[in-house]
Amino acid sequence: MKFFVDTAEVDAIRELNDLGMVDGVTTNPSLIMKSGRDIKEVTKEICEMVDGPVSAETVALDADGMIAEGRELAKIADNIAIKVPLTWDGLKACKVLSSEGRMVNVTLCFSANQALLAAKAGATFISPFIGRIDDLSLDGMDLIGDIRTIYDNYGFETQILAASIRSLNHMKDAALIGADVATAPPAVIKSMANHVLTDKGLDAFMSDWAKTGQKIL
């Protein structure tokens, strides 16, 4: 499973990228606002740092506006994935932009039917929002599983990009179900290395090592 980092904070992306943990980046208007930087400036910096797709989101609500904004965002770098919402106008924009050979990430997906439409419209990525479905006391992973089955049934090449990931279980379950990509905040990705038994074992090793009175360097 590929890891995308869901942030516009350049330092956090750089740290993970240097470890080989970044296959791409996703941004949205909220993350751009949080970074406090100009969208084109920060997106260009991220694209220069990361080899994989960098999602930059349109803000128009009509198809023509999304297409125009998408083309403008695509000028930033060759690895831009244009992000459009899963609305009827978003699907129209996806069809046009993908037909022009551009990567398109269709976001705010909450049903398998929506995901099917996005694949038919030529989406490169479909972004089901797991956490927001969980907020409704439903299981967001059921949606990932349904989309995986539908796409495999018909050989769609659209990649399932599990989004709105908030926990380690989300990461694990998305991988088990077969999501192609998971996009998560840096803190979630880094916390995948944590385990209480690892900490306990390391403490025991260090205690025993101290008793030997030895040094390696």
Active site (annotated) includes residue 190? no
Alpha carbon distance 192, 144 (integer Å): 20
Q: What is the 3-state secondary structure (H, E, C) of 166-181?
A: CCHHHHHHHHHHCCCE
Candidate list 83, 92, 190, 215, residue with the active-site label:
83
- Are the C-beta atoms of residues 121 and 95 closer than 8 Å to each other? yes
Rounded to 10 degrees, the C-alpha dihedral 65/68/70/76 comes to: -140
3-class secondary structure, 47: helix
What's the token pair of residue 66?
């999304």
Q: How far is CA 101 from CA 58, 120, 165, 212, in A?
A: 17, 15, 29, 63
* Residues annotated as part of the active site: 83
